[in-house]
Amino acid sequence: MNLVIDIGNSQIKVAVFDETILIFKDNFKTETFLSGILDVTDQYNVEKGIISHVAQIDKQILVSLKEIVPLIELNHETKLPFFNKYLTPKTLGVDRLALIAAASSQFPDENTLVIDAGSCITFDLLNEFGEYFGGSISPGIEMRYKAVNHYTANLPLLSKSESIPEVGNSTENAIHRGILNGVIQEIEGVIEQYKWKYQKLTVVLTGGDTIFLAKNLKSSIFAIPNFLLEGLNSILIHNIDE
């Protein structure tokens, strides 16, 4: 059994895979993280693990985790199942490495655009030759709502609407439409840009806003909420097999 830990900007996700099959997934709070890991490893016969963190993590937590299970800490030196041609690999987010690893594993020999809609919206492409050169990063939906409030004197801080107003006929509706429609048009536009260069293009949508965006996008996509966790598992398997 493989233990996969993803420490993101807003939550800690923990998963267990039986080879490539996801058999357990849960979210943990920081204060209950270690005890939760102990419960998971007691319940499942975990033999090895991998951890990804986009923010700083307490070194003592890492030490404690490695005492529980043999653990790979994903970084720019970790062996990857694709050719990483990013110009500054030390600055590349490990979450993006995991997403491209998932693309390499699940869509081999295909041009695959991975869109991760979380705190930020990232666009990353793996070409049919297994080469990754990079992509782009833009503010996520929640970040846009906060920015509209923070950088103005009178506009309110709103939570994401589950539907996009047809007309911004009030200040609140105008904010909802501006942000949500803007995100949809941005994603559709980026997909079209890549399709001009890659006629055969597989598009994967993942991240916290997957369900909302999938309902509103017109482009043909694969919506895979656990894509990052699956990518981490594929990196772990790749390092075991090496």
**Residue with tokens 């994967």, as numbered in its chain:** 204
- 1-73 CATH, one of 3.90.550.40, 3.20.20.150, 3.30.420.40, 3.40.1190.20: 3.30.420.40
The per-residue pLDDT for range 133-148, each reduced to its tens digit, is: 999 999 999 999 999 9
Mean pLDDT for all residues in the chain: 92
Q: For position 241, what pLDDT does the model report?
A: 67
202 is an annotated ligand-binding site residue:
no
220 is an annotated ligand-binding site residue:
no
The segment(s) of the chain belonging to CATH 3.30.420.40 are 1-73, 74-242
51 is an annotated ligand-binding site residue:
no
Beta strands, E only, the chain: 2-7, 12-18, 21-28, 48-53, 71-73, 83-84, 112-117, 120-126, 131-139, 202-206, 222-223
The per-residue pLDDT for range 23-69, each reduced to its tens digit, is: 999 988 877 788 888 889 889 989 899 999 877 777 888 888 888 88
**C-alpha radius of gyration, the chain, whole number:** 19
Whole-angstrom Cα distance, residue 167 to residue 212? 19
120 in Cβ contact with 134 (< 8 Å): no
Catalytic choice (18, 26, 39, 95): 95
16 in Cβ contact with 46 (< 8 Å): yes
205 in Cβ contact with 115 (< 8 Å): yes
Q: What phi and psi, each to the nearest 5 degrees, are found at residue 63?
A: -60, -45
Fold topology of 74-242: Nucleotidyltransferase; domain 5 (3.30.420)
pLDDT cut 90: percent of the chain above it: 75
Beta strands, E only, 39-140: 48-53, 71-73, 83-84, 112-117, 120-126, 131-139
8 is an annotated ligand-binding site residue:
yes
**236 pLDDT higher than 70:** yes
Q: Which of 173, 163, 167, 174 is nearest to 212 (CA)?
A: 163
Facing residues of 3 across strands? 16, 49
Catalytic residue status for 95: yes
pTM of the model: 0.91
